[in-house]
Amino acid sequence: MSYPEVRYQGESGEINASFRPAGTPPEFVSPRGQRTHYLATTASTDGEFGLYKVDMTPKAGGPATHFHRTISESFFILDGTVRLYDGDRWVDAKKGDFLYVPVGGLHGFRNDADEPASMLLLFAPGAPREEYFEKVSTVGEMTDEERAAFFVEHDTYWTD
């Protein structure tokens, strides 16, 4: 394995980092109160990755078993207990636990606990997941055709 091809051709570096203070409010709050912080979007990373902090309410549930054809997904638990499906079994992941799901890997997650939970989600390469987070709660209002198109557009393939 080697480093990727050189992408920066300059000689002295650039001032181009972006800082996000911890107190920045979430960009999206779902109708059920789940808060999603857009830490690094595919737009802000030029498609390299997407990083999101998700604060789940107690008993929030979560998506059933699915996979992605174009992106990997990683989970890092910051607080609480999140049930993670690794394609083989459900595990109760706690603070500091990590799960990496390669492209095509079966996975799911949920908060079944009576307490809130918080985690980081990393998608690589980056994908415009913001619209998915913002509209997934409306799939029940979509026609079957609209729902199927929405999930294909957002690289989500259900197995259940």
pLDDT, average across residues 8-33: 95
pLDDT at 65: 97
pLDDT at 46: 93
pLDDT at 86: 97
pLDDT at 160: 77
pLDDT at 131: 93
> Cα dist. 56→4, 83, 92, 151 in Å?
36, 12, 15, 22
Render pLDDT for 36-74 as a digit per residue (tens, 0 to 9): 999 999 999 999 999 999 999 999 999 999 999 999 999
pLDDT, average across residues 20-30: 96
How many angstroms separate the CA atoms of 26 and 105, rounded?
Answer: 28
| Token code pair at residue 54 | 């998700």
> Cα dist. 8→3, 12, 42, 50, 93 in Å?
13, 10, 18, 20, 38
Render pLDDT for 70-128 as a digit per residue (tens, 0 to 9): 999 999 999 999 999 999 999 999 999 999 999 999 999 999 999 999 999 999 999 99
Q: Bin 46: left if φ > 0, else alpha if -120 < ψ < 50, else beta.
A: left
How many angstroms separate the CA atoms of 122 and 38, rounded?
Answer: 11
Residue 75 in contact with residue 93, Cβ under 8 Å? yes
